């Protein structure tokens, strides 16, 4: 079947799901929306802003002023329009994923195009947050479109989207280095033939410095625009970007941060906030250096780091990581424990809603129940990330008779 028919059918199915009646448990699920991506909080912020009240004066609204201004002036925040917008964003993300695959394979089209689009549009980790209208779906779309532009060497469009993405979700700064280097290299697979980066330090500096300058120019303009939207107040900085460092809202989520800091003594809190924040950043340089021969793969691994360690994750974060895995079929035969990792993921994804229900709905459990399920889910995400790193390295190291041989060029 032609890909365009397949893609149209997938988008139509996704649109039907969007307009199907949803239970409130799904709309307000803590696994699908975080305090930074909640649609209900976004609606409240837009309502306050449209009535002349600063939404950042309280402690609930933590979305970017870019979303605040967009949904106040350009798009009315009404459910039918929002459902269409989120569906369109999912379609754009799936199309971008297919585009990245084609550029990596250097083909105009392939037999896997429909499968790759389906793995995004039918991934429950992705379409369930989108049905709940979590803004994490918009962030995933911005990232995938930015990566697609980077693979096409359209630097200005890619950097602009990357600047917008970091405004929406500050933890996305971990993608800056691999995407900047991807703009100066090729998305074609080089996992089987690792080699040093094509440019020396002087050439790399000449190639990357203009990109860095352009990124900071876009970021400065977006920051100034956000400040103007808020009437000249900079309170939005602490409420949005500051949330990733200060963790002010301890609403439960599928991540590893919230319960740890719920139990933390106040005088230890600043130290461990620094430790957790730096832990998210320390992977950027080692992964980028190790996979300098395939920076698209490095970007994929950073999605796995984000899904495992970011402060306010939703299911869409591991969903993006799993969907990106469809771009790298050459690594599948080198995965060490794919069945075990998949089963732990399945186990964790079933425990999350079950233990959340036992805790908050029936009252037969407590916070330890839900945090235990988030630990299992975190182990699953970590196991997937380790498996992906191992497979990416082992692709260049053939195995013969159970022994490791020297990698071949």
384 torsion bin: left (phi>0), alpha (psi -120 to 50), beta (else): alpha
Mean pLDDT in order along the chain per 10 residues (409 residues): 86 89 77 91 91 87 91 84 93 96 91 93 93 94 96 94 94 94 90 76 79 94 92 88 90 90 88 90 93 94 95 94 94 92 92 88 83 93 95 75 40
Q: What is the dihedral of CA 108, 112, 118, 120, to 10 degrees?
A: -70
Q: Supply the pLDDT for residue 397.
A: 64
* Contact present, 392 and 191 (Cβ < 8 Å): yes
- Residue 400's H or E segment, with its range, is strand 399-400
* Contact present, 148 and 261 (Cβ < 8 Å): no
Pair of tokens at residue 389? 């790193």
Cβ-based neighbours of 4, under 8 Å, separated by 6 or more: none
Q: Give the other-Cβ count within 10 Å of 85's Cβ.
A: 18
Pair of tokens at residue 372? 């235990």
**How far apart are alpha carbons 84 and 161 in whole angstroms?**
21
Q: Supply the pLDDT for residue 23.
A: 67
- Give me the phi and psi of 220, to 5 degrees please: -65, -45
Entry pTM:
0.92
- Give me the phi and psi of 184, to 5 degrees please: -105, 5
């Amino acid at each position: 079947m032609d890909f365009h028919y397949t893609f149209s059918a997938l988008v139509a199915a996704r649109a039907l799901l969007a307009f199907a009646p949803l239970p409130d448990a799904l709309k307000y699920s803590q696994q699908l929306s975080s305090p930074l991506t909640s649609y209900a909080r976004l609606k409240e912020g837009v309502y306050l802003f449209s009535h002349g009240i600063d939404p950042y004066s309280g402690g609930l609204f933590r979305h970017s002023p870019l979303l605040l201004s967009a949904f106040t002036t350009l798009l009315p925040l009404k459910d039918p329009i929002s459902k269409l917008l989120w569906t369109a964003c999912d379609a754009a993300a799936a199309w971008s994923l297919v585009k990245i695959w084609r550029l990596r394979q250097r083909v105009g089209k392939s037999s896997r195009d429909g499968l790759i689009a389906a793995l995004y549009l039918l991934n429950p980790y992705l379409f369930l947050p989108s049905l709940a209208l979590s803004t994490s779906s918009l962030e995933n779309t911005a990232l995938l479109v930015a990566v697609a532009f980077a693979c096409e060497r359209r630097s200005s469009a890619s950097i602009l989207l990357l600047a917008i993405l970091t405004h929406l979700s500050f933890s996305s700064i971990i993608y800056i280095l691999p995407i900047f280097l991807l703009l100066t290299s090729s998305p074609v697979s080089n996992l089987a033939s690792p080699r040093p980066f094509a440019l020396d330090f002087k050439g790399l500096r000449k190639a990357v410095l203009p990109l860095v300058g352009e990124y900071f120019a876009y970021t400065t303009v977006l920051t100034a625009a956000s400040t103007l939207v808020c009437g000249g107040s900079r309170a939005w900085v602490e409420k949005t970007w500051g949330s990733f460092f200060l963790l002010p809202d301890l609403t439960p989520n599928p991540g590893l941060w919230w319960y740890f800091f719920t139990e933390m003594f106040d005088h230890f809190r600043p130290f461990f906030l620094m430790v957790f924040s730096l832990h998210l950043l320390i992977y950027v340089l080692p992964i980028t250096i190790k996979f300098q021969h395939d920076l698209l793969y490095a970007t994929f691994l950073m999605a796995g780091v984000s899904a495992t360690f970011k402060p306010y994750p939703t299911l869409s974060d591991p969903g993006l990581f799993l969907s990106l895995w469809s771009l790298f079929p050459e690594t599948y035969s080198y995965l060490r424990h794919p069945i075990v990792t998949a089963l732990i993921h399945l186990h964790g994804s079933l425990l999350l809603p079950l233990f959340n229900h036992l805790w908050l709905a029936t009252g037969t459990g407590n916070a330890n129940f839900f945090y235990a399920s988030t630990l299992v889910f975190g182990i699953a995400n970590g196991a997937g990330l380790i498996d992906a790193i191992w497979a990416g390295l082992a692709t260049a190291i053939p195995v013969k008779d159970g022994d490791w041989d020297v990698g071949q060029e």
